[in-house]
Amino acid sequence: MNSIALILGLPIAGFLINGLFGKSLPKSVVGWLGTFAVLASFVIALGVFNDLRLNPDFQNGLNFKLYTFLNVGNFHVDFAFSLDRLSVMMTLIITGIGSLIHLYSIAYMHEDEGFYKFFAYLNLFIFNMLILVLGSNFMMLFFGWEGVGLCSYLLIGFWYKNAEYGKAARKAFVMNRIGDLGLLMGLFLIFHQYQSLDYNIVLPKIADGSTSVYMLTAISMCLFVGAMGKSAQIPLYTWLPDAMAGPTPVSALIHAATMVTAGVYLIVRCEALFYLSPITNNVIMWVGLATSLLAAFIGLKQNDIKKVLAYSTVSQLGLMFVAIGCGAYTAAMFHLATHAFFKALLFLGSGSVIHAMHHEQDIRQMGGLKAKMPITYITFLIGTLAITGFPFLSGFFSKDEILIAAFEHNKIVYILAVLSATVTGLYMFRMFFTTFHGTYRNHHHSFEKVHESPWQMSVPLMVLAVLSVLGGLLNLPKYLGEGVSHKLAHWLAPILPMAENHSEISHSTEFALLGVAVTVFIIAFLYTRFKYVSRNAVPESDEKTPYLGKLLVNKFYVDEIYDTIIVKPLEMCSQIVDSFVDSKIIGGFVSGISSVLLKISNLNKRIQNGNIEYYLTFMVIALALFLGFNLLF
Amino acid sequence: MEIIILPLFLSVLAAAFGSKVNKIVWGALSALTLIAMIWVKSNLNIQNDGVWHTTFDMPWFSSGIHFTLGIDGFTGLMLLLTNILSPIIIFSINRDKQKSLLPLILFMQAALNGVFMAKDGLMFYIFWELALIPIYFICLLYSSKDAFKTTIKFFIYTFIGSLAMLASLIYLYLKTKNHSFAYEELLAVQLNHIESIWVGAGFLFAFAVKIPIFPFHSWQANTYTHAPAQGSMLLSGIMLKMGLYGLLRWYMPIAAESISFYQPIIVTLSVIGIIYGAVIAIKQNDLKRLIAFSSLSHVGLIAAGFFTLTEIGIQGGILQMFVHGINVVALFYIVEIIETHAGSRELSGLGGLAKFNRLFAAIYLIVVLGTAAVPFTNGFPGEFMLLKGVFDYNTISGVFAGLTIILCAVYMLRMYQFSMLGESKTSFKEIGIKQLWPLIILVAIILVIGISPMLILDKVNPSVQKIMLEISNSKGVLS
């Protein structure tokens, strides 16, 4: 049977079985069924990957058409898929990390009454995410794009009895829809220009350079608006921190490793388009940079362990967009992969902590957990080191590649990106030390009861820790030897025909930049260690945070600003239109006509009063007029 | 012919024995029409080649006036919609005292089938008015005193619209060679510019009130709110499709000379209506009012799509007529269940109903998603095509119309949240599975069309080609 059909079919089968019958199945069956559905997809994807790697006849990948979705006039779209080098990479990340997170959820969600629903939604998410990356045209991408948005909505609001969570879920869906409108307009423009939505037809036509740069800029800006929504960039990023209302495995899978990187995938997929739109590239670079810095600074003052990681995700996504803006598409994909490893690890680690602490998420209520949770501690440490750029861990290489690309492109961007990396180090170690070092500070829940998580949770942590350490192997820099370096760049080269892969930077400059990166890491590490370990400081309560800190605690008041300038006016507009325009003006106009008619009829009624004298008078007047008229003309 | 006679006959039966027989029997009998329709269609061996085949023809009181019925893909789809929804609407009757609605609904079913099949201008008008009579009584029968005023308003408003259409039809009749109301004869009439604008105005006024197109909608929200659930379903699910049907089948080919004059006006009004309805829906508290304004928003997009005169817009519009009928009836059905089981349909008094019945929560969610046009539900393909049509016609209109995908998500999810999620404020009586079956059928339709819209589009495609050809023949408006 067709591998693509299997890769897609297994998760949807899992969704259907668990969704329809899960209620009456035992939890263990539900959990393992969901997990194996994704794991099996992963194994099949590995097989395809191997074929792509070894078999030269297989270079164009697999194509698979299921049926014709729409065929109207000249508009034709197939429900079709293709598995090429880029999509197989995404598929491996999605199903690989996906199956680990499914396994983790078996233990994490064990107590939950909606257990089967949770696994059904997770499988549905995997299915939609796979449609997004495997689709062979923009319509399929849009299908998956909206589909993952829906799953995200369902899973953020998973604990539906909490109205706040529901609000967060709706916020995520609506903000994503704003981006989706941009994407949709981009699709219409693409079809208008190229009469097709197929990658295989559209992308070569873009690459041949015959399209005007205005059109390309318009299309690419529309697509980027879509990416802003999904990948949480300024100004559409505020939904992602709120999305932490969902269960922690969801945050790890959807809001860190996979869905939020869809924007990056989209742009890398349309490399030719963005390569030829310099204006859009600049916009992407600056938006990415601003997002990265803003989120990193906000992360400095957050005390909810998941909120810190959420802002960290926004910040890292910003870095990926900086890479794209600088034309370093491979670096963006590289960072996408390593970020998926270490951010999933960190989220799952935080989940393990939250699990042990009975749903406490405030790091000020933790402390000294390393003694009780050795596996979580060590794996979390690895994740923290990876994201902050400890030499030779995955994040070190991928972030470095972005920094080098920025350095080549624009020195100011480089400096600001380094600043963002520094702040990353500060907030990550602040969180890490406050959680695992120092003394235990929670009075509601005794330290004795804190426990290490069961194996279903610790195994994924260990696997992801290994990946976070070794992830750099994907795309080692050149100074480590020609033979082993730039594997990912070579792998993606056929997908990225336009981007030039030669770096003009000399080895000595490169080492100098590495030195900067390592120095920054050491400064962040030592400062936070001094503050939170040696001096045993605890982050102060929100009210006591002074001036600038207050601004950070309140996330620059962006939510409040949106509320004041968009939400409130829209609601007010709704009420005014309903109670005034609709009922008074439009409704009033119609009633007005009828009351005028009524008045006329009343007048008429008065004339027809049955009084003979009246009638005779009118008759005489009428006759006189008639005669006079005849005489005069 | 059978398709009209059967429900008419049933309606007489129901008037006689309605209260003695279970509503399920009546629902099943009403569904018979659907079977009859499929039987007729397969028996007649009609090719789906776009031609509006005459299936019944009988001269009436003058040589120019015939009782002519016809069927093609477009009519077929509308008949399908009417005869799927009518039994479901009958099933939704759950209070015994409402049994006198039965003959009215069946009579309505007959009249609606007639509207969609009539191939003679006068027949079209007669069925059009016939459909108004039962709905008037349905709206009036079980409602408060307050409702009397709104119902009268609705009746007079739409009646004036119908008269305008009659005037146009008679004018056309006088212009035909042999003084005939036959569709083909009316098509052949050549109008000069001024004539076409007046004739067009008559049609458009009737249709714009019925659809309704902004700003002719002021009867809608109050009528929906005051009418019993069955009335709201009939009105929004099928009856407003009469207006859209008339637009495409009668107005556009017959008064094609005036399209270029009205095109920018109607597209602009429709796009305003899309946003206008959606913005009002955002803060509604009464579920029925919310759906009324959401409906205004959705049909606005359909009307705009028709007037773009693009193939994708027209096909998307036809698909969306069917889809909107299914979704809006499902929504009103859900509201009816909520109102009878939780005692209120005000959002401020609801909440947390999901925990009482998971199946109901899932059905409701799918209907909400269908309305919000999420992929894999029926709302998506139609809305995509319509937006593309409007976008191709005019980029700015396309962007404004596109706002519906954001606003619709806002009000539909708010509706779901405040009725189903959060802390529960009321109790929720047990819902029997018997009551959910009609909804399950509708949900199945939502998913099937969402996955494979070509099932429907293939059927209507030839008719659309034919109608577009007729429009361009009448006046070279399509190049």
B422 — contact with chain A (CB < 8 Å)?
Answer: yes
How far are the Cα atoms of A92, A272, B387 from residue A288, in angstroms, in the given order? 26, 20, 30
Query: Does the beta-carbon distance from A70 to B457 stay under 8 Å?
Result: yes
**Predicted local distance difference test score (pLDDT) of residue A1:** 54
* pLDDT-based confidence at residue B477 (cuts at 50, 70, 90): very low
Are the C-beta atoms of A153 and A147 separated by less than 8 Å? no
- In A, minimum Cα distance to B356 occurs at A161
Q: Is residue A53 domain-resident?
A: no
B461·A72 Cβ contact <8 A: yes
Q: How confident is the model at residue B16 (pLDDT cuts 50, 70, 90)?
A: low
Interface check B456 vs A, CB under 8 A: no
Residue A535: which domain range?
277-553
Q: Would residue A49 count as lying in a domain?
A: no
Strands A62-72 and A75-83: antiparallel
* Residue A623 Cα, gap to closest chain B Cα (Å): 34
A500 and A452 both lie in a single domain: yes
CB-CB under 8 Å, B422 with A166: yes
Cβ distance of B375 and A188 shorter than 8 Å = no
Q: Does residue A330 lie within any of the structural domains?
A: yes
Q: Taking the model in full, what pTM does it have?
A: 0.91
Does residue A300 sit in the same domain as residue A392? yes
Return the half-sphere exposure (C-beta side, CA atoms, 13 A cut-off) of residue A182.
Answer: 20
A566/A519 same-domain check: no
Decide if A123 is inside a domain. no
Instruction: Return d(Cα B350, Cα B368) in angstroms, integer.
Output: 17
**Alpha helices (H) along A437-541:** 455-470, 487-492, 507-528
Asked if residue A327 is part of any domain, the answer here is yes
Interface size between A and B, measured as CB pairs under 8 A: 132
Q: Are A627 and A485 in the same domain?
A: no
Query: Do A413 and A304 belong together in one domain?
Result: yes
Task: Using an 8 Å CB-CB cutoff, list chain B residues near A146.
Answer: 374-375, 380
Q: Which of B278, B305, B288 is nearest to B397 (CA)?
A: B305
Closest by alpha carbon to B150, among B225, B240, B232, B231? B225
B144: left (phi over 0), alpha (psi -120 to 50) or beta: beta
Share of chain B above pLDDT 90, in %: 38
- pLDDT score recorded for residue B22: 64
Same domain, A519 and A380: yes
**Does the distance separating the beta carbons of B312 and A67 come in below 8 Å?**
no
Which of B406, B417, B453 lies at the smallest CB-CB distance from A178?
A: B406
Q: Is the peptide bond before A26 cis (omega within 30 degrees of 0)?
A: no
pLDDT at B342: 86
pLDDT above 70 covers a percentage of chain A that reads 97
Q: Which residue of B has its CA nearest to A157?
A: B421
CA distance A375 to A381: 10
The span from the CA of A534 to the CA of A552, in Å, is 25
Is B374 part of the contact surface with chain A (CB cutoff 8 Å)? yes
* A579-615 confidence digits (pLDDT tens): 888 777 877 787 787 778 778 877 777 666 667 777 7
pLDDT tens-digit readout, A232-261:
998 899 999 999 988 999 999 998 889 999
The string of pLDDT tens digits covering residues B211-227 is 898 888 888 888 888 88
Q: Is residue B447 part of a domain?
A: yes
Across the interface, of A72, A167, A591, the residue whose CB is closest to B315 is A72
DSSP string, B294-350: HHHHHHHHHHHHHHTT-HHHHHHHHHHHHHHHHHHHHHHHHHHHHHHHHS--BGGG-
Average confidence (pLDDT) over A288-309: 92
Q: Is the Cβ pair B392, A192 closer than 8 Å?
A: yes
Residue of B nearest to A583 (CA): B218
The b-or-e profile of A24-47 (16+ CB within 10 A means b, else e) is: eeebeebbbbbbbbbbbbbebbee
Q: Within a domain: residue B384? A: yes
Instruction: Count CB atoms within 10 A of the CB of residue A8.
Output: 22
Q: Which of A553, A588, A617 is the last residue of a domain?
A: A553
Instruction: Assess if residue A414 is contained within a domain.
Output: yes
- Domain boundary (A553, A584, A605) is at A553
Residue of A nearest to B375 (CA): A143
Asked if B273 and B305 count as a contact pair (C-beta separation under 8 A), the reply is no
- Give the other-Cβ count within 10 Å of B17's Cβ: 13
- Residue B168 inside a domain? The answer is no
CA distance, residue B2 to nearest chain A CA (Å): 33
Q: Report pLDDT digits (tens) over B233-285.
A: 999 999 999 999 999 999 999 888 888 899 999 999 999 999 999 999 998 89
Number of domains making up chain A: 2
CA torsion A191→B409→B442→B80, rounded to 10°?
-50
Does the residue A417 lie in any domain? yes
Question: Contact A177/B376, CB-based, under 8 Å?
Answer: no
Q: Do B218 and A586 touch (CB under 8 A)?
A: yes
Q: Which of residues 269-308 of B touch A (CB under 8 A)?
A: 276, 279-284
Chain A residues inside the 8 Å CB shell of B369: 150
In a domain, A469, yes or no: yes
Burial class of residue A17 in the structure, from the number of CB atoms within 10 Å of its CB (0-12 exposed, 13-18 middle, 19+ buried) = buried
List, in order, residues 6 or more apart from B225 with CB less than 8 Å away: B150, B286, B288, B289, B292
Residue A101 parent element (H or E) = helix A85-108
pLDDT of res. B2: 63
Determine contact: B417 vs chain A, CB below 8 A: yes
Same domain assignment for residues A501 and A601: no
Q: Are residues A501 and A405 in the same domain?
A: yes
Q: Which of A95, A83, A52 is nearest to A491 (CA)?
A: A52
Per residue in B88-101, pLDDT tens? 888 888 765 566 77
In a domain, B373, yes or no: yes
Domain count, chain B: 1
pLDDT value, residue B23? 62
Domain end (from A483, A518, A553)? A553
What residue type is assigned to position B14 of the chain? Answer: A
Q: Is A137 helix (H, G, I), strand (E, B) or coil?
A: strand
Closest partner CB to B454 (pick from A71, A570, A594): A71
Break chain B down into helix, strand, coil percent, rounded to 5. Answer: 80, 5, 20
Is residue A541 over pLDDT 80? Answer: no
Q: Which of residues 125-164 of B touch A (CB under 8 A)?
A: 153, 156-157
Span B158-182, mean pLDDT?
88
Residue B376, domain extent: 272-479
Q: What is the pLDDT of residue A143?
A: 93
Q: Rounded to an integer, what is the distance from CA A128 to the centroid of its chain?
A: 14
The alpha carbon of residue B466 is apart from the nearest alpha carbon of chain A, in Å, by 13
ipTM of the complex: 0.90
Residue pLDDT, tens place only, A327-371: 889 999 999 999 999 999 999 999 999 988 888 888 888 888 888
Give a yes or no: residue B20 inside a domain.
no
Q: Is the peptide bond before A249 cis (omega within 30 degrees of 0)?
A: no
Q: Which among A161, A188, A575 has the least Cβ separation from residue B423?
A: A161
Q: For residue B28, which of B87, B82, B114 has the smallest C-alpha distance? A: B87
B392–A69 C-beta distance less than 8 A: no
Are residue A476 and residue A547 in the same domain, yes or no?
Answer: yes
* A-chain residue closest to B215, CA distance: A586
Query: How close, in Å, is residue A88 to chain B by CA atoms?
Result: 24
If asked whether residues A358 and A497 sit together in one domain, one would say: yes
Same domain, A427 and A574: no
User: For B385, which of A72, A147, A162 is closest by C-beta distance?
Assistant: A72
Both A480 and A602 in one domain: the answer is no
Which residue in B11, B222, B22, B5 sits closest to B101, CA to CA?
B11
| Interchain CB distance below 8 Å, A181 and B279 | no
CA distance B361 to chain A (A): 11
Residue B210 in any domain: the answer is: no
- Most A CBs within 10 A among B150, B153, B283, B469, hence the mutation to make, goes to B283
Q: Give tens-digit pLDDT for A62-121.
A: 888 888 999 888 899 999 998 888 999 999 999 999 999 999 999 999 888 889 999 999
